[in-house]
Chain A
């Protein structure tokens, strides 16, 4: 074998990914930080209700509107509920809305986009028009309209958030599938006796998938903001459920009178979550981008 010596060491794709991820984390500590934050958010979402010091719904009017202290780290609200407990417990709901809506749009937008890019023609036109129609609205107003029309439930918030993100996913998936449609490996697969559907599923999708995963992380932040925004204007989760958007809305009226902690801490939690997902998306992009691999 003449060309054996120059080939790289053998390793499985998994160990290669782990090695590469370690490199990206080492090269860019911010990604490591974002990843740590992400783990924290997940922990809060999973174990939140079991570890918080107070019942997030238990009111105690004698303790109302107390500033942050050792007892109540983030202070208490107008009903004397512990803001820290409420912020932590709210993580689960907000995180769930974000994950569910992103997963939904990943399926809808990803599949529709890949099909549009691969088949072209009518499929492409229909998916394109749907995306254009959605984009024609101011996205937040559209989400408001959907929730207002369908009803004030968590499912509808998830659906509305997914729909407003649809064009983004459909377009990325369409573009990525379209450039691979004429690729050599697609022609080779055809010669190997693969039908169009098999090519789409087993050849194109695995190549588009990682790109959409990066997009998922980037839109997570937007999804959380969107859900919180809906709740903020009263079109989402209803009080007294702990939810960052409602808490900011409820706390906002007390800022004028100096009780800033009521709105500040849920707002800060929101900001940290969005920040974390965006940074994570950048890091993930570096990890899955084959051009950054050696």
Chain B
């Protein structure tokens, strides 16, 4: 398998707070002083690859930078540094607003969390699905109509619903419109940003099964962003766990959930409600560290980690490989399954 998308050392930071005004900046520039402004490290030095046909899950709590990361790699926003390679082509150098009209724009598409909010309330379902086809495929007239109807059919959206506005559709139908719009231009990589978070469990099943079927039929790769681990476990081949802008664990989904190695993943897995198990008592205490100018030499999880020692405060653990898994923790080895289990 060759990598479809390969991102290396990607960081994205935002200025923290209001910052100095234009006049103050001008004065500083004239006086030649260079002052470092406080920055929010939303995504900090993240690397991973997605193979063709692979489904990768990205999990983490709100504010951990997963939204920023997917917006950077779908080229909706610019990265602060690092490389985003689609096949052999480097995309990070192209500004986001120029990339909107790029020939490769169609290759990365995205399904948004709240389909009710991501379809313009003044657009019909047809207009919403037709928009990318008009702009990126230059389809018009009958060809456009045919394509929209084909895609709607693939997504199980009855054709008579195409003339409706979002508020006239049910949650499940809106989700289908969002998916149809994203796959209309036949992307290679589909980023799914919590596509079922707003749906009831019975509708969620239908949408998840639709996504799995589409992936088989169209041969896409998925990057599935979710906070719902039980859904990620069902849909994904591989999973990345993010904490405060960094990837702390990566590996095959089944293994990560069966036997999490990073203490954060352990707490995350323990917190997932299970139908037939009592609640485990492994809990995180304290509040996450501030993402504003974090200490580059301290583990981001230090302070909430039940295993933290002084070394964690002075050395940032690297994302080290353990077989087919990667973990960023000084104690990862001690959490590895005992040899008798790993047969």
A interface vs B, CB < 8 Å? 1-4, 6-8, 10-13, 183-185, 187-196, 198, 203, 206-207, 290, 293
Q: Is B94 an interface residue (CB 8 A)?
A: no
Q: Is B158 an interface residue (CB 8 A)?
A: yes
Residues of A with C-beta under 8 A to B161? 4, 7, 10
Kindly state the interface size class of chain B when it binds its partner.
Answer: 35 or more
Task: State the total of A-B contacts with C-beta under 8 angstroms.
Answer: 100
- Contacting pair A7 B105 (CB below 8 A): no
Question: Bound state CA distance, A27 and B135, in angstroms?
Answer: 44
Which one of A4, A8, A192 contacts B168 once the chains associate, using CB atoms below 8 Å? Answer: A8
Residues of A with C-beta under 8 A to B136? 192-193
B315: shortest Cβ distance to chain A, in Å? 38
- Contacting pair A1 B163 (CB below 8 A): no
Question: Bound state CA distance, A194 and B99, in angstroms?
Answer: 10
Residues of B with C-beta under 8 A to A11? 168
Chain A residue with the shortest CB-CB distance to B120:
A185
Q: Is B221 an interface residue (CB 8 A)?
A: no
Chain B window 74-118, contacts with chain A (Cβ cutoff 8 Å), 1 for yes, 0 for no = 101000000000000000000011001100011011101110011
- Contacting pair A203 B120 (CB below 8 A): yes
Q: Is B164 an interface residue (CB 8 A)?
A: yes
Which one of B106, B113, B123 contacts A193 once the chains associate, using CB atoms below 8 Å? Answer: B106
- Contacting pair B172 A2 (CB below 8 A): yes
B194: shortest Cβ distance to chain A, in Å? 11
- Contacting pair B165 A13 (CB below 8 A): yes
Question: Bound state CA distance, A185 and B164, in angstroms?
Answer: 16
Chain B residue with the shortest CB-CB distance to A8:
B168
B230: shortest Cβ distance to chain A, in Å? 21
A-B contact pairs, 28 of them (CB 8 A): A1-B158, A2-B172, A3-B171, A3-B173, A4-B161, A4-B173, A7-B161, A7-B164, A7-B170, A12-B163, A184-B117, A185-B120, A187-B112, A187-B118, A188-B110, A188-B118, A188-B119, A189-B120, A189-B131, A191-B76, A191-B105, A191-B182, A192-B136, A193-B100, A193-B106, A194-B100, A207-B122, A290-B121
Which one of A7, A12, A194 contacts B131 once the chains associate, using CB atoms below 8 Å? Answer: A194
Question: Bound state CA distance, A206 and B121, in angstroms?
Answer: 9
B15: shortest Cβ distance to chain A, in Å? 13
Question: Bound state CA distance, A266 and B131, in angstroms?
Answer: 53
Known: A191-B76, A191-B132, A193-B100. A7 touches B173 (CB 8 A): yes
Which one of A6, A190, A203, A293 contacts B76 once the chains associate, using CB atoms below 8 Å? Answer: A190
Residues of B with C-beta under 8 A to A4? 158, 161, 173
For B131, B169, B171, which residue has the most chain A Cβ atoms within 10 angstroms? Answer: B131
For B71, B119, B158, B170, which residue has the most chain A Cβ atoms within 10 angstroms? Answer: B170
Further contacts, 10 of them, CB under 8 A, given A2-B206, A184-B117: A4-B158, A184-B113, A184-B119, A185-B118, A187-B110, A187-B118, A189-B120, A190-B76, A192-B131, A207-B120
Question: Bound state CA distance, A148 and B133, in angstroms?
Answer: 55
Known: A191-B109, A206-B122, A290-B167. A183 touches B101 (CB 8 A): no
- Contacting pair B117 A3 (CB below 8 A): no
Q: Is B343 an interface residue (CB 8 A)?
A: no
Question: Bound state CA distance, A206 and B123, in angstroms?
Answer: 9
**4 A-B pairs with least C-beta separation:** A184-B118, A192-B132, A193-B135, A3-B172
- Contacting pair A190 B112 (CB below 8 A): no
- Contacting pair B106 A6 (CB below 8 A): no
Chain A residue with the shortest CB-CB distance to B127:
A202
Chain B window 42-63, contacts with chain A (Cβ cutoff 8 Å), 1 for yes, 0 for no = 0000000000000000000000
Residues of B with C-beta under 8 A to A185? 117-121, 123
Q: Is B156 an interface residue (CB 8 A)?
A: yes
For A3, A7, A290, which residue has the most chain B Cβ atoms within 10 angstroms? Answer: A3
